[in-house]
Chains A and B, each alone.
Chain A
Amino acid sequence: MLNLFNSKNFKNFHDDYLYWIKIFFLTLVIFGLIISLFVSPADYLQGDTVRIMYVHVPASWLALQIFAVMGICGFISLIFKTRIFTLIAKSIAPIGFTFSLISLFTGSIWGQPTWGTFWTWDARLTSMLVLVIFYIIYISSWKIISKFHLAEKLTSIVSLIGLANLPIIKFSVEWWNTLHQPATIKFTESSSIHPTMLTPLLIMFIAFLSFSIIIFLIRFKLESLNLKINTKR
């Protein structure tokens, strides 16, 4: 298992499997989009606006999960000084940032017809905006700080602090009165979504996830080669 975290093996993984993951992603995303845009039924209340959810929800999930991974990587690279985890966090950050932007954008175009407003300062929306800001701080500290060791430390700390925001986003709809509705898909009880709508949602989630893996593998190879060049110089 530890062998996998050897950066050379990780890069080889990229070369061996990237092609197949790409094919997997393409089939899933085409299939998922057809189902969610044409096959799945319109909602009884929202009508066709509900189809925005099939992009909004997977993007939001991934934005949160990717930051969680970054936080854990930050912890390991701070305490155990394992460089590969720094590189993992660095290479997935832009993916999560993009997904968080997608989440905010699709959310606001859903909010206008449903709630009657593009943006409101309720707890869920505000904490999601804070997550975007954390992504911006994280990515820009890599850009601004030129010394690798210093940047490694600082970004790890940023990702650890940002970790505290994740439970706030997740539970904001339960702790406070919010305009945003509570979670539809629950781990402990049955979900309050019809199976014909749950299926495209899950397909889209797996498609987005495999897309993240593709970008991660490409970026990871790039970052590790970058590091090699910079340390040689």
Chain B
Amino acid sequence: MNNKVKKRLYFFLVSIITALIIGKFIFDSLKVNSVYFFSPTDLKNTTEIPNGVIRIGGMVKVESLKKKGNQYSFIVTDFKNEILVNYSGIKPNLFEEGQGAVVEGKLNTRTNFVATKILAKHDENYMPKEVADALKKTGNWKKNYGK
């Protein structure tokens, strides 16, 4: 390696290290501020109730979904804490009990949420219907899949 290449390499290394340090700071602040959704437990732990539009994510509790016209009420849970959600409008196809969901809206009280938008969360599992049925039959369903 000649001198010029060495010089450029050093310059590059120094700038990479500075960039990494700056990046670390940006990243740390992003990790706190850029929450796409809160879990019910997160909300319980906050000291003040956020009053703007927020999102809550979790599992739609089984047997909690009630429908009246296009009015829906259901419980979003993260298996530690839960929150009651009211929503009026059209629900996405994949929005079901026992599936993940993200709801957008405002908190009424600490345990009551009025949603203006529902998003169904899809997990990373892909399988044919026959396989899913077979898994349900043998009792292996939701052991490894559909966390």
* Alpha-carbon distance between A213 and B4 when the two chains are bound, in angstroms: 34
CB distance from B34 to the nearest CB of A (A): 6
* Residue in B closest to A125 when the chains form the complex, CB atoms: B36
Contact of A116 among B12, B120, B123, B132 (CB under 8 A): B120
CB distance from A211 to the nearest CB of B (A): 24
Chain A contributes a number of interface residues (CB within 8 A of B) equal to 37
Q: Are A196 and B125 in contact (CB under 8 A)?
A: no
Interface bracket on B: 35 or more
Q: A78-B12, A175-B31 are in contact. Are A164 and B23 (CB under 8 A)?
A: yes
Contact residues in B for A24 (Cβ distance below 8 Å): none
Q: A44-B132, A116-B119 are in contact. Are A197 and B124 (CB under 8 A)?
A: no
User: Which of B43-51, B66-74, B87-95 faces chain A?
Assistant: B87-95
CB distance from A149 to the nearest CB of B (A): 15
The answer, yes or no, to whether A146 is at the interface (CB within 8 Å) is no
Complex interface bits, B87-129 against A, C-beta within 8 A gives 1, otherwise 0: 0000111110001001000000000000001111111111111
Spell out A's residues near B (CB within 8 Å): 41-46, 50, 53, 75, 78-81, 113-117, 120-123, 164, 175-179, 181-184, 192-194, 196-197
Extra contacts, 5 of them, besides A116-B117, A122-B36, A175-B31 (Cβ < 8 A), are A45-B99, A116-B91, A117-B117, A181-B124, A192-B125
